């Protein structure tokens, strides 16, 4: 089985995007400045729209990768961003340009960088700040899942902030591995980053919205401890840690972490996808509402249902006959 299915896997790709791909030279429209980040097939640079002075992030995606035409993959990424257009927690697609080697997505700029930096910083973020970011992430994921979209590459590098200090609001980026569920039967074999990916992905079992919920558990773990829960010395060890759900909840790692945080994480990092709470169910976990139930600083996009907000029913998958 190939480990990197990014380019070869065409199943489940959305074929059309509404955003026109401009072919006139980008240089006339944008001034491209410094690099913001890079991945395997993409470089992201800061750019300024000359007419408006507005700052954007330009994601340069190579049309050819390992000798194959990957234009369809890029169109798919654009189409997913379009489907998530009214999701305030997802970065907005402004326009698209084509150059000789790349298709360039002009994206809403998230000036605060990756929440990864918060995970590895010397000073841990206070828990009320962490729970605010987790709530926002859950809102974004909930809205994606409502549209039958799964992200499948959620990790601290793909959750950005609108501003850094103080931490602003989150923006989810990188929809290259995202898929729409139900379009083409079962979805398997989409491989994200081993450290952050759920056991069912490694085991070639069906992928569902619960696959993203595992990643929320990993992200929460990293924000509260500063450590990656499954990272091993090599890929093999990481795979083993994930598939055995080998997580360290020891006193050392969790000395300054609340019991509710541990409970939240433990409910998500479970092997059976059907036993993980949904994004909406997570929103009712008491950890996310400690001390701030009455003075919520930002308007909520989804509100916990009253009966569920006590936290009692949260652990068990809710019995909803319509789910069956
Ligand atoms: P890849 O598919 O190569 O991982 P991403 O879309 O994740 O590409 O972008 C790579 C990195 O570039 C991100 O982790 C982030 O640091 C930066 N980046 C991406 N989009 C934006 C944006 N809209 N604003 C600011 N930085 C961004
Ligand atoms: Mg990325």
Taking only the tens of pLDDT, the chain with its 324 residues reads: 333 444 434 567 898 999 999 999 999 999 999 999 998 889 999 999 999 999 999 999 999 988 999 999 999 999 999 999 999 999 999 999 999 999 999 999 999 999 999 999 999 999 999 999 999 999 999 999 999 999 999 999 999 999 999 999 999 999 999 999 986 667 776 678 889 999 999 999 999 999 999 999 999 999 999 999 999 999 999 999 999 999 999 988 899 999 999 999 999 999 999 999 999 999 999 999 987 544 455 554 554 433 333 333 333 333 343 443
**ipTM exceeding cut-off 0.90 for this assembly:** yes
Q: Report pLDDT for 188.
A: 75
Distance CA 253, CA 312 (A): 27
Distance 34 CA to ligand 1 centre (A): 13
Q: Could you tell me if the CB of 157 is within 6 A of ligand 1?
A: yes
Q: Which residue among 34, 41, 59 has the greatest number of ligand 1 atoms within 8 angstroms of its CB, and so is best to mutate?
A: 59
> Which candidate, 168, 129, 18, places its Cα nearest to that of 81?
18
Residue 269 neighbours by CB under 8 Å, 6+ apart: 214, 217, 218, 221, 229, 245, 247
Establish whether 169 is a catalytic residue: no
d(CA 321, CA 318): 9
- The CA distance from 180 to 178, in Å, is 7
Nearest CA to ligand 1 atom 19: 44
β-bridge pairing 159-161 and 113-114 = antiparallel
Q: 61 CB less than 6 Å from ligand 1?
A: no
**96 membership: H or E segment, kind and range:** strand 93-98
Q: 107 pairs with which residues across the strands?
A: 57, 93
d(CA 75, CA 260): 42
Q: Using a 6 Å cutoff on CB, does residue 158 contact ligand 1?
A: yes
Q: Whose CA is nearest to atom 5 of ligand 1?
A: 174
Q: Is 261 in the pocket of ligand 1 (CB under 6 A)?
A: no
Query: What is the per-residue pLDDT for 169?
Result: 98
């Amino acid at each position: 089985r190939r480990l990197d299915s990014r380019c070869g896997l065409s199943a489940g790709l959305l074929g059309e995007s509404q955003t026109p791909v401009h072919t006139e030279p980008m240089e006339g429209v944008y001034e491209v400045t410094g690099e913001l980040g890079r991945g395997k097939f993409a470089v992201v640079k800061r750019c300024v729209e000359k007419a408006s002075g507005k700052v954007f992030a330009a994601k340069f995606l190579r049309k050819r990768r390992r000798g194959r035409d990957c234009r369809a993959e890029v169109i798919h990424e654009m189409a997913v961003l379009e489907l998530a257009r009214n999701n305030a927690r997802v970065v907005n697609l402004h326009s698209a340009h084509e150059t000789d080697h790349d298709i360039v997505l002009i994206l809403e700029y998230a000036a605060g960088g990756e929440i990864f930096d918060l995970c590895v910083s010397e000073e841990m973020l206070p828990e009320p700040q962490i729970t605010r970011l987790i709530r926002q992430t859950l809102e974004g994921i909930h809205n994606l899942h409502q549209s039958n979209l799964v992200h499948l590459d959620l990790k601290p590098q793909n959750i950005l902030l609108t501003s850094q200090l103080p931490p602003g609001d989150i923006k989810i980026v990188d929809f290259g591995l995202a898929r729409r569920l139900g379009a083409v039967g079962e979805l398997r074999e989409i491989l994200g980053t081993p450290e952050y990916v759920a056991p069912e992905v490694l085991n070639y079992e069906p992928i569902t919205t619960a696959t993203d919920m595992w990643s929320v558990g990993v992200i929460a773990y990293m924000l509260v401890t500063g450590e990656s829960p499954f990272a091993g010395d090599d890929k093999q060890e990481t795979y083993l840690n994930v598939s055995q759900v080998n997580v360290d909840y020891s006193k050392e790692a969790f000395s300054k972490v609340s019991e509710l945080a541990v409970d939240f994480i433990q409910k998500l990092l479970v092997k059976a996808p059907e036993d993980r709470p949904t994004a909406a169910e997570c929103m009712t976990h008491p950890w996310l509402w400690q001390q701030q139930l009455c003075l919520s600083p930002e308007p909520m996009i989804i509100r916990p249902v009253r009966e569920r907000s006590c936290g009692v029913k949260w652990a068990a998958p809710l019995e909803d006959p319509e789910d069956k």
